[in-house]
Chain A
Amino acid sequence: MDTLLALLTVFTQPQLFLLVGLGTFLGVYIGAIPGLSVTMAVSILISFTFSWDVYPAISLMVGIYMGGVYGGSRTAILLNIPGAPSAIATAMDGYPMAQRGEAGEAIGVTTVMSFFGGLVGIAVLALAAPFVAEFALTFQPRDYMLLAVLGILLVGSLSAGSLLKGIFAGALGIAIGAVGRDPLTFAERFTFDFQIMEGGISFIAVMIGMFGISEALLQLHHVGAEAMRQKIDRIVPSWSTVRKYLPLSLQTSSIGVIIGALPGTGGDIAALMAYDHAKRVTKKPTRPFGTGAMEGLVAPETANNAAVGGAFVPMMTLGIPGDAVTAIMIGALFIHGLNPGPMLMVDQPQMFWFIVGALLTANVFILICGLTGIKLFTKIVEMPRAVLIPLIMLLSVVGAYAVNNSVTDVYWMLGFGVFGYFMRHYGYPLGPVILGVILSRLLDDNWRRAIISEREDLGAFSAGIFGSPLSLTLLLVVVAIFVSQTPVYAMLKSRISKRAADQA
Chain B
Amino acid sequence: MKIDYRGDADHHDGTSDATPGGYETERRPGELAFALFLLVASLYLLWEAYGIAGFEALSSAGAVPMATTAAMAVSALIIVLRTARLPKVSTESLARDILPFKVILFGGLLVCFGLLLVPLGFLPTAALFLVLAIKYLSGRGWGFTLAVSLGSLLLIWVVFRIVFTVLMPAGIVPEAELLQFFRNLGTGGGAQ
Q: A residues touching B (Cβ–Cβ < 8 Å)? A: 34-40, 47-49, 51-52, 75, 79, 81-85, 88, 159-162, 164-165, 167-168, 171-172, 174-175, 178, 182, 184-185, 187-190, 192, 210-211, 213, 215-218, 220-223, 225, 272, 324, 384-387, 389-391, 393-395, 397-398, 401-402, 405, 407, 410-411, 414, 417-418, 421-431, 434, 440, 443-444, 447-448, 451-452, 456, 458
Neighbouring A residues of B64 by C-beta, 8 Å: 174, 178, 440, 443-444, 447-448
Query: B134, A386: Cβ atoms under 8 Å?
Result: yes
Q: B residues touching A (Cβ–Cβ < 8 Å)? A: 3-8, 11-24, 28, 30-31, 34-35, 38, 42, 45, 48-49, 52-53, 57-65, 68-69, 71-72, 75-76, 78-79, 82, 97-98, 100, 102-103, 106-107, 110-111, 113-114, 117-118, 122, 126, 129-130, 133-134, 137-140, 148-149, 152-153, 156, 160, 164-169
The distance in angstroms between the C-alpha atoms of A40 and B12, with both chains bound, is: 15
Neighbouring A residues of B78 by C-beta, 8 Å: 164
- The smallest beta-carbon distance between A182 and chain B, in angstroms, is 4
Contact of A427 among B22, B117, B130 (CB under 8 A): B22
Contact of A397 among B21, B75, B113 (CB under 8 A): B113
Query: B68, A178: Cβ atoms under 8 Å?
Result: yes
B contact face: mostly helix, strand, loop, or mixed: helix
A390-B17 contact, Cβ under 8 Å, with A175-B69, A218-B12: no
**Beyond known contacts A216-B106, A451-B63: 13 more, CB 8 A cutoff:** A83-B14, A85-B18, A161-B20, A168-B75, A184-B61, A189-B61, A192-B48, A422-B98, A426-B21, A426-B22, A427-B21, A440-B64, A448-B59
The distance in angstroms between the C-alpha atoms of A50 and B30, with both chains bound, is: 39
Query: A387, B148: Cβ atoms under 8 Å?
Result: yes
Query: A178, B16: Cβ atoms under 8 Å?
Result: no
The distance in angstroms between the C-alpha atoms of A58 and B90, with both chains bound, is: 48
- Top 6 nearest A-B pairs by Cβ distance? A427-B22, A34-B14, A37-B16, A386-B138, A386-B137, A390-B133
A48-B160 contact, Cβ under 8 Å, with A161-B4, A222-B13, A389-B137: yes
In chain B, what residue has the closest Cβ to A453?
A: B59
In chain A, what residue has the closest Cβ to B23?
A: A427
Contact of A168 among B72, B106, B137 (CB under 8 A): B72
